Amino acid sequence: MSWNSYVDTLTNAGIGKAALYSRAGDSVWAQSSTFNISAPEIAELVKGFDDPSQLQASGLHIQGEKYFLLRADDRSIYGKKGEEGIIAVRTKQALIIAHYGPPLQPGAAATTVEKLADYLISVGY
């Protein structure tokens, strides 16, 4: 299965845009065509898994938009802006980033992304 098929799996489940990066954020493995995240935004996100203080202070930034930080730990980071949100989950080797909006509800989006992360972890990624 190619990395693009995982992005397709997320978008087919109602996630608007998604991307897979290396865990360090230095390599894009696959992404939706309209989901271009800048290098500084990726660096900010990757750092937030180990030290969320900057995200707590100034929010999460993806594609030039600021999201209010809802959750940040060593596995998952969630951000929200109005009815839209960002879910980022880090596995052993990968970083999954997903953007959702209506009609998908935050809980359903989180479940979808977290299940993909669990699967990748189970197969060594």
In terms of residues, how long is the chain? 125
Q: What is the pLDDT of residues 85-120, one digit of tens each?
A: 999 999 999 999 999 999 999 999 999 999 999 999
Q: What is the pLDDT of residues 47-86, one digit of tens each?
A: 999 999 999 999 999 999 999 999 999 999 999 999 999 9
Tokens of 46: 């990757």
CA angle 109, 75, 95 (to 5 degrees): 75
* Answer CATH for 3-123 from 2.130.10.10, 3.30.450.30, 3.40.50.360, 1.10.10.10: 3.30.450.30
pTM for the structure as a whole = 0.96
Domain ranges (residues) in the chain: 3-123
Please tell me the distance from the alpha carbon of residue 100 to that of residue 25, in angstroms, as a whole number: 20
Please tell me the distance from the alpha carbon of residue 118 to that of residue 33, in angstroms, as a whole number: 25
